[in-house]
């Protein structure tokens, strides 16, 4: 149980285009989802916290207009990288918190974004 | 501010030998501590957590961690390493802001040699 999926697993796009990444909780409802960014050989950086039905809470320094997060249902959150540039290339990972299990997060497999 | 530190970028150990991956924490109040493992191009997998109770916490795949309040440490251990344990290990602490945010260490790459 507690499986989180991400789609796509990798994507290559041209500079200036937008890319949408989906994060789904497959067998549970996730009231809260988190989006992380991981640079090569670096730790995970929390980008934003997404709560179902409300606006995401972004961490300091993360551009809200560039990284659009939507948590439309209890099983789906999306991250859209708008007008992507090469510096946005990274590994993006989502996680979901299971309702009632406050202290655990379950992570998706990640999405590798490469912007040319 | 809450933080965790992983002082070693890489740990090398021979298969069959015990392994330790170090983590120290800095928190106000009681810490909620976690260990996660990441295999190449994959998301993080939960290994174990300390919330309260026994200082020795047992987790997945034979791993355990010892919470030491006086040394503010939460080292990950395994009695006998496997080559398949080679991966990137992250220590994390729950943020006290009530949002369930996790603050991660910089990660330690474990390399187990046959």
Q: What is the DSSP string of chain B?
A: --EEE---SEEEEETTS-EEE--EEE-SSS--EEEEEE-TT--EEEEEEESSS-SEEE-GGG-EEEEETTTTEEEEEESS--GGG-EEEEEEEE-TTSS--EEE---EEEEEE-
pLDDT value of residue B19: 97
Please write the tens of the pLDDT for every residue from B39-75.
887 788 989 999 888 999 999 999 999 999 999 999 9
B43, B105, B106 member nearest A108 (Cβ): B43
Is there a contact between B107 and A46 if contact means CB atoms under 8 Å apart?
no
Helix (H, G, I), strand (E, B), or coil: what is residue B62?
helix
Q: Look at residue A100 and tell me whether its pLDDT is greater than 70.
A: no
A43, A46, A103 member nearest B94 (Cβ): A103
Is there a contact between A112 and B36 if contact means CB atoms under 8 Å apart?
no
Please write the tens of the pLDDT for every residue from B89-105.
999 998 877 667 888 99
Please write the tens of the pLDDT for every residue from A20-77.
999 999 988 888 899 999 987 778 899 999 888 888 999 999 999 999 999 888 899 9
Is there a contact between A6 and B101 if contact means CB atoms under 8 Å apart?
no
Read off the pLDDT of each residue in A82-102 and give the average, rounded to a whole number.
88
């Amino acid at each position: 149980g507690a499986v989180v999926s991400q789609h796509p697993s990798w994507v290559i796009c041209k500079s200036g285009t937008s890319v949408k990444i989906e994060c789904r909780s497959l067998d549970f409802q996730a009231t809260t989802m988190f989006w992380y960014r991981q640079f090569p050989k670096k730790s995970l950086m929390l980008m934003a916290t997404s709560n179902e039905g409300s606006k995401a809470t972004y961490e300091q320094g993360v551009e809200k207009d560039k990284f659009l997060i939507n948590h439309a249902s209890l099983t789906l959150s999306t991250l859209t990288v708008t007008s992507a540039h090469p510096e946005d290339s990274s590994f993006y990972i989502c996680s979901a918190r299971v309702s009632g299990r406050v202290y655990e997060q379950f992570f998706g497999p990640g999405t590798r974004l490469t912007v040319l | 501010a809450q933080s965790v530190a992983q002082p070693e970028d890489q740990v090398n150990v021979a298969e069959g030998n015990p392994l330790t991956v170090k983590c120290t924490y800095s928190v106000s109040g009681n810490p909620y501590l976690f260990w996660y493992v990441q295999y190449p191009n994959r998301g993080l997998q939960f290994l174990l957590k300390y919330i309260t109770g026994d200082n020795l916490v047992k987790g997945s795949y034979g791993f355990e961690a010892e919470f030491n309040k006086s040394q503010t440490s939460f080292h990950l251990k395994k009695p006998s390493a496997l080559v398949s344990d080679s991966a990137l290990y992250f220590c994390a602490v729950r943020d006290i802001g009530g949002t369930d945010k996790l603050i991660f260490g910089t990660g330690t790459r474990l390399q187990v040699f046959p």
